[in-house]
């Protein structure tokens, strides 16, 4: 009989380990969501010159806990014309892929759920699975707004998956591995991947904003046109699971991917001596990105659906494809050094940043020319 | 006891695949069928994991659950929802169906019971490189031919649904620079 850790039978240990891991991750997600909501409200309050939550607890810290208790204690409301099974199944279908994604997140050298050799692919896969739940939620609600929201969301998620995956592929070409732990170990020093592949990072960042339904891509929840999108019929903890837990969990996952791939993950001063310090660096880096997400939400207005789609299909996808092609060609031509790749990436990023305003101005000029001088502005068609 | 986990998982996955497959055929509603199909795909991915082919499992979920099922659900949603019309999907053609199923099942059963152990068993989690080399080196040409076929199908689909003449849209208002006019 092989002894497992702590003298426990290995079979029991496998079950026990799974249970402990699930409890830990659920606690992480729940507390993370509570704190992130508080952080988001405070951040927006600061940016909009308000105070934000301050009644419950010191600095309003307990406000989101009170909200969570309210959500859990709420009556379970379900409209009679909804599709019972799917309506109840949808939050689970949205939530569980996000939960499963935490398995491969490398917090610190000793703290990784599983070092899968295909970690990054696994994360992408789970990101794609969430769409199913959203479509089901929109359809099962038997509500036009919810259906529109669900369909929009599915279209948006499927479209933005392509630039997201293409950016990841570009990074993986340079790194040569899909394992999250190996990716982190490849970037020990201050020169992390961001200096080599800035454009892939920028395109991934934009696609990630869309994938997590954050502003300026939060069309599925556009309250001025769609009430609350696919969440319209949900209330109580189902709403809480779908919106709060899943949205903030997905934001955390996406930011963790960015941290790992481009910013060296757990690497930081003192990690060699105390590997557990990695948690600190990893969390700090991840939360820095989450703060940028919140900053963007407080700053930018929402895009329209046709703008969103044309930006993805005519802007991001060709750009990421070009980036992938250039990177692959340069890696083949210069297998020993990453300097040409880095130069090309920075140049492409510059062209993208400078070219976008120029293109916008040209289009604006063309629209003005077509309208003519004295033409009445036509009423906007609904889109 | 650890050795028992794998057969147990295999049995669980097999029962789930068969059950989900039956549900796809027998469920009274088309959305239930679509979801059961997604469940069957997930279980097939589990089978791939048991075989040590994690990458194939990941692609199975990515493509079949993440894309194909969603597309099918789209199709269901844009189809008029009339309870009576489902009769069209489930006609009582049991004898012919049984005959066809038997014709398909026979070779499967023969292969299954005469199968010898695979020559090379992969170490779990190491199928990424063999898969990559076989797709992009050994079978690069068939792979490219398949993608050409898909491209042709996509162009064909776009050509089929394309309108000949765009209806004249009102041009964008001057205060709205983001407005996309009709394609010229």
Give per-residue pLDDT as tens, A277-325: 888 888 888 888 888 988 888 888 887 777 788 888 888 898 899 989 9
State whether A125 and B178 contact (CB < 8 Å).
no
Measured CB to CB, residues of chain B less than 8 Å from chain A are 1-2, 5, 31-32, 35, 38, 54-55, 58-59, 61-62, 65-67, 69-70, 73-74, 77, 125-126, 128, 169-181
Give residue A105's pLDDT.
84
d(CA A162, CA A149): 20
Give residue A6's pLDDT.
65
Give residue B174's pLDDT.
47
Tell whether the torsion through CA atoms of A299, A301, A307 and A312 is positive or negative. Answer: positive
Other Cβ atoms less than 10 A from the Cβ of A374: the count is: 5
* Residue A159 token pair: 């479209």
The number of helices, as runs of H, and strands, as runs of E, in chain B is 8, 0
Given a contact cutoff of 8 angstroms between Cβ atoms, the answer to whether A105 and A113 are in contact is yes
Q: String of b and e for B145-184 (b: at least 16 CB within 10 Å)?
A: eeeeeeeeeeeeeeeeeeeeeeeeeebbbeeeeebbeeee
Given a contact cutoff of 8 angstroms between Cβ atoms, the answer to whether A241 and A71 are in contact is no
d(CA A287, CA A38): 13
- The stretch A168-193 carries a mean pLDDT of 83
Query: Is the previous residue joined to A216 through a cis bond, with omega within 30 degrees of 0?
Result: yes
- Which residues in chain A touch residue B167, judged by CB atoms under 8 angstroms apart? none
* Residue A300 token pair: 């930018």
d(CA B78, CA B89): 16
Q: Minimal Cα distance from B2: which residue of A?
A: A11
Task: Tell me how far CA of residue B123 lies from CA of A378, B3, B54, B129, in angstroms.
Answer: 65, 16, 11, 12
Q: Which fold has domain B1-80?
A: 1.20.120
- The stretch A112-120 carries a mean pLDDT of 78
Instruction: Pick from A361-370, B15-24, B168-177 the range whose average pLDDT is largest.
Output: B15-24
Q: Which long-range contacts (CB under 8 A, 24 or more apart) does A11-17 make?
A: A11/B1, A11/B2, A11/B5, A14/B2, A14/B5
For chain B, first and last CA: distance in Å? 69
To the nearest 10°, report the CA torsion of A176, A177, A180, A184.
Answer: -40
d(CA A241, CA A245): 5
Give residue B160's pLDDT.
87
Helical packing angle, A144-175 and B69-77, nearest 10°: 160
State whether A117 and B126 contact (CB < 8 Å).
yes
Give residue A1's pLDDT.
46
Q: CA neighbours within 13 Å on the CB side: how many for B58?
A: 23
The beta-carbon neighbor of B66 closest among A117, A131, A136 is A131
The beta-carbon neighbor of B62 closest among A128, A178, A363 is A128
The beta-carbon neighbor of A364 closest among B1, B65, B177 is B177
Given a contact cutoff of 8 angstroms between Cβ atoms, the answer to whether A261 and A193 are in contact is yes
pTM over 0.90: no
| Burial class of B1 by CB neighbour count within 10 A (0 to 12, 13 to 18, 19+) | exposed
For A10-72, give the DSSP string: HHHHHHHHHHHHHHHHHHHHHHHHHHHHHHHHHHHHHHTT---S-SSSGGGTTHHHHHHHHHH
Helical packing angle, A119-140 and B69-77, nearest 10°: 10
pLDDT in tens, B32-91: 788 888 889 989 988 888 877 788 888 888 888 877 888 887 777 776 665 555 555 556
Better-scored residue on pLDDT, A288 or A271: A288
pLDDT in tens, B13-46: 999 999 998 888 777 777 778 888 888 998 998 8
Give residue B58's pLDDT.
84
Instruction: Pick from A92-101, B94-103, B142-151, B160-169 the range whose average pLDDT is largest.
Output: B142-151
For A61-112, give the DSSP string: TTHHHHHHHHHHHS-----TTS-HHHHHHHHHHHHHHHHHHGGG-EEETTEE
* Residue A86 token pair: 């799917």
Helical packing angle, A339-371 and A317-333, nearest 10°: 150
Mean per-residue pLDDT of chain B: 77
* Residue B19 token pair: 């059950």
User: Closest approach of chain A CAs to the CA of B115, in angstroms?
Assistant: 30
Dmax (CA) of chain B: 74
For chain B, the C-alpha Rg in angstroms (whole number) is: 23
Q: List A106's β-bridge partners, or say none.
A: A112
- Taking alpha carbons only, the member of A101, A96, A131, A97 closest to residue A116 is A101
Give residue B123's pLDDT.
64
To the nearest 10°, report the CA torsion of B89, B90, B95, B97.
Answer: 50
Q: Minimal Cα distance from B178: which residue of A?
A: A307
Where along chain B do its domains lie? Answer: 1-80, 126-163
Give residue A136's pLDDT.
82
């Amino acid at each position: 009989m092989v002894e497992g850790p702590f003298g426990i039978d290995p079979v029991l240990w496998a079950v026990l380990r799974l249970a402990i891991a699930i409890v830990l991750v659920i606690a992480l997600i729940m507390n993370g969501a509570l704190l992130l909501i508080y952080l988001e409200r405070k951040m927006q309050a600061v940016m909009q010159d308000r105070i934000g939550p301050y009644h419950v607890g010191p600095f309003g810290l307990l406000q989101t806990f009170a909200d969570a208790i309210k959500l859990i204690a709420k009556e379970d409301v379900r409209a009679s014309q909804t599709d019972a099974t799917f309506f109840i199944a949808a939050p689970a279908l949205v939530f569980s892929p996000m939960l499963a994604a935490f398995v491969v997140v490398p917090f610190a050298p000793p703290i990784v759920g599983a070092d899968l050799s295909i970690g990054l692919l696994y994360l992408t896969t789970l990101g794609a699975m969430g769409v199913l739940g959203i479509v089901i939620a929109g359809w099962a609600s038997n509500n036009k707004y919810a259906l529109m929201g669900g369909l929009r969301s599915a279209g948006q998620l499927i479209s933005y998956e392509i630039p997201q995956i293409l950016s990841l592929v570009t990074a993986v070409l340079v790194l040569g591995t899909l394992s999250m732990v190996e990716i982190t170990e490849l970037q020990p020093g201050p020169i992390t991947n961001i200096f080599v592949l800035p454009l892939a990072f920028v395109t991934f960042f934009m696609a990630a904003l869309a994938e997590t339904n954050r502003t300026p891509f939060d069309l599925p929840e556009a309250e001025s046109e769609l009430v609350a999108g696919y969440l319209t019929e949900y209330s109580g903890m189902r709403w809480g699971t779908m919106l709060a837990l899943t949205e903030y969990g997905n934001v955390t996952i996406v930011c963790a991917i960015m941290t790992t791939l481009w910013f060296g993950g757990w690497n930081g001063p003192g990690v060699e001596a105390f590997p557990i310090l990695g948690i600190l660096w990893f969390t700090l880096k991840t939360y820095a990105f989450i703060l940028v997400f919140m900053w963007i939400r407080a700053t930018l207005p929402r895009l329209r659906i046709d703008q969103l789609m044309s930006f993805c299909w005519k802007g991001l996808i060709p750009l990421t494809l070009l980036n992938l092609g250039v990177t692959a060609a340069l890696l083949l031509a210069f297998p020993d050094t990453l300097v040409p790749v880095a130069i090309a990436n920075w140049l492409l990023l510059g062209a993208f940043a400078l070219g976008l305003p120029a293109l916008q101005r040209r289009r604006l000029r063309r629209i003005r020319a077509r309208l003519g001088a004295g033409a009445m502005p036509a009423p906007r068609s609904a889109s | 006891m650890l050795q028992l986990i794998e057969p147990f998982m295999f049995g669980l996955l097999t029962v789930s695949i068969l059950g989900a497959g039956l549900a796809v055929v027998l469920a009274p509603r088309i959305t239930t069928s679509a979801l059961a199909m997604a469940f069957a795909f997930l279980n097939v991915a589990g089978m791939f994991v048991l075989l040590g082919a994690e990458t194939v499992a990941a692609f199975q979920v990515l493509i079949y659950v993440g894309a194909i099922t969603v597309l099918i659900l789209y199709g269901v949603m844009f189809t008029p929802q009339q309870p009576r019309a489902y009769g069209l999907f489930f006609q009582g053609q049991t004898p012919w169906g049984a005959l066809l199923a038997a014709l398909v099942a026979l070779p499967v059963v023969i292969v299954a019971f005469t199968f010898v152990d695979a020559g090379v068993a992969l170490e779990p989690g190491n199928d990424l490189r063999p898969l990559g080399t076989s797709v992009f080196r050994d079978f690069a040409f068939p792979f490219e031919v398949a993608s050409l076929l898909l491209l042709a199908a996509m162009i064909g689909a776009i050509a089929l649904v394309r309108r000949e003449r765009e209806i004249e849209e009102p041009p964008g208002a001057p205060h709205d620079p983001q407005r996309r006019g009709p394609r010229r």
